Structure 1
């Protein structure tokens, strides 16, 4: 039983779940500076987006396998299907169950908070399914990165902020950009690492479309731009000056850049670059959350 749970835990790729946990928490923390923080709605919102992202991870594993994108030589998936730990049907069924649960919770939030949340929920559910699901299969058409930015940046932060405050303001929009970029960097790191294997499968990720050199430049921009944006927002007083403490994670960003810069097509040193990028996003986001909370306590 314990081993089975470990396999399922591996299948949902828990390291990537900071992609949804961080933006929702940022949105809710920012909202708490405008109104009384509602823990109940925050918890429900967090549960909905975790279910959504876990479903995306499982369904993309399923779709990547049946489309011959994931192979024993590739690194992109959780590997549970490749290693015969779980079947294709089990992964698809679990993904659809989690997607359904996320939609049900989202429907409750929409009932309580109105049409804007319903719009965001429908966009999130359809976008998540269409990441690799038919007929759109956006990841395979080079549209995975903009979709991830939309879902895990503006959509989640604005949704969490609105659920707390019943409003949207310029700060909530601007602060969603650096978080969206860092989360997109997790996906892009994965695509950059897997260029060789993805090319053999015949799909068109953004990294394949623009080429490796330009793909590296995009990655550099995705993880460095958030530091510039946060600095500008803090200096102009749109977010607390204390948020500049996020800059202490810059060495981690530079380390990732150095890893990519020193890598080659045959290099295995990028095997964990997506996990390293997720760690950077989590550290940056956690510090941002703490800085927002502390600024309204002190």
Structure 2
């Protein structure tokens, strides 16, 4: 594989979005770092597996959006490798399936070692990922994108990573997934708001189309605001350490994103990069949150 071709495959994996899966899994694992049961091997394998699975979904999403006329030359497609003719449909589908298989094999190994609960959570995640835009469910095209992203990239991943280490589910493990899950959902929602015109033309229904642009903007702002509110509440109730308030350093970026959408005048080119900027915000917030838990665990 040439360097240029490798760059195209990396672009198709949408690196800016991969923190969406890496952070909730890392969060669930790091949260139990001080426990004797913690396994660095399981921790690393879980992150590798989930990144491969998300990258595979990104490839398959490019494939499905193109064949369903959701991504076109005049739309803001997620990676653009197919629309621009840089990779063929066969390329993206084949590599998406390859990444899916490798990610699943690692997941099966973890399920074999740590029990049926991991297998069940993994199956739910893979099914939702594959059929997010894949036939016959086409979940995203039916307005189910946002709730599915919240559940999969929130409670499911964090609970799975926590169970992988501790062999149990707890309310605390569920609650700690909420702030970053809200920010991850905002990434997808920003994408949907930007693409409303093209999605309507393609005949698909996203949440943004169902509720209209004005209400969609309110939902985006609410997702961002609730992420910070839930963080503060969990610090108060000691689900997170006080050091986790360091995440408030990302507030200026959050406010900029909200204002950018508010001042966009409904024009997609004014928010062409809002999904990436939302991904950057989620990444910064998540890394600071994990760092705060890590530092509090080793003190």
Kindly indicate whether residue 32 of structure 2 is the aligned counterpart of residue 31 of structure 1: yes
Is residue 214 from structure 1 mapped to residue 231 from structure 2 by the alignment? Answer: no
Counterparts of 2:22 and 2:15, CA distance in 1: 11
Instruction: Within 5 Å, give how 1:215-294 maps onto structure 2.
Output: 215-294=216-295
C-alpha distance after superposition, 1:44-97 (max 9, x if no partner): 101110111001101010000000110111113200011111000111111111
Who is 2:196 aligned against?
Answer: 195
Which ranges in structure 2 are unaligned for 5 or more consecutive residues?
Answer: none
Task: Name the counterpart of 2:173.
Answer: 172
Q: Which residue pairs with 2:8 in the alignment? A: 7
Instruction: Confirm or deny: 8 A CA contact 1:171 1:239 kept in the other structure.
Output: no
How far residue 36 of structure 1 moved from its aligned partner, in angstroms, is 4.5
Task: Report the Cα distance in structure 2 between the residues aligned to 1:203 and 1:155, rounded to whole angstroms.
Answer: 26
Per-residue deviation at 1:35?
A: 3.5
Q: TM-score, normalised by structure 2?
A: 0.98
Contact 1:76 1:190 in 2 (8 A): no
**Retained in 1: the 8 A contact 2:194–2:268?**
no
- 1:76-225 equivalent positions in 2, closer than 5 A: 76-225=77-226
The count of aligned residue pairs is 298
Report the Cα distance in structure 1 between the residues aligned to 2:143 and 2:10, rounded to whole angstroms.
28
Query: Are the aligned partners of 2:30 and 2:293 in contact in 1 as well (CA < 8 Å)?
Result: yes
Cα offset, 1:103, TM superposition: 1.1
Q: CA separation in 2, counterparts of 1:33 and 1:197?
A: 49
Question: How far apart in 1 are the matches of 2:192 and 2:79?
Answer: 15
Q: Does the 8 A contact of 1:55 with 1:96 survive in 2?
A: yes
Alpha-carbon offset, residue 148 of structure 1: 0.8
For residues 257 and 184 of structure 1, what CA distance do their matches in structure 2 show? 14
CA separation in 2, counterparts of 1:22 and 1:93? 27
Instruction: Tell me, in whole angstroms, the C-alpha distance in 1 between the residues paired with 2:206 and 2:77.
Output: 13
Q: Offset of 1:180 from its aligned partner?
A: 1.1
C-alpha RMSD of matched pairs (Å):
1.0
1:141 match: secondary structure:
coil
Query: Distance between the aligned counterparts of 1:269 and 1:91, measured in 2?
Result: 29
Structure 1 gap segments, 5+ residues each: none
In 1, distance between residues paired with 2:77 and 2:226? 25
Q: Distance in 2 between matches of 1:48 and 1:252?
A: 30
Counterpart CA distance in 1 for 2:155 and 2:261 is: 28
User: CA-to-partner distance for each residue in 1:237-282, whole Å, 9 max, x for gaps?
Assistant: 1211111111111111100000000002335121110000000000
Stretches of 4+ moved more than 4 A in 1? Answer: none
Structure-1 separation of matches of 2:76 and 2:29:
34
Distance 2:49 2:280 in 1: 22
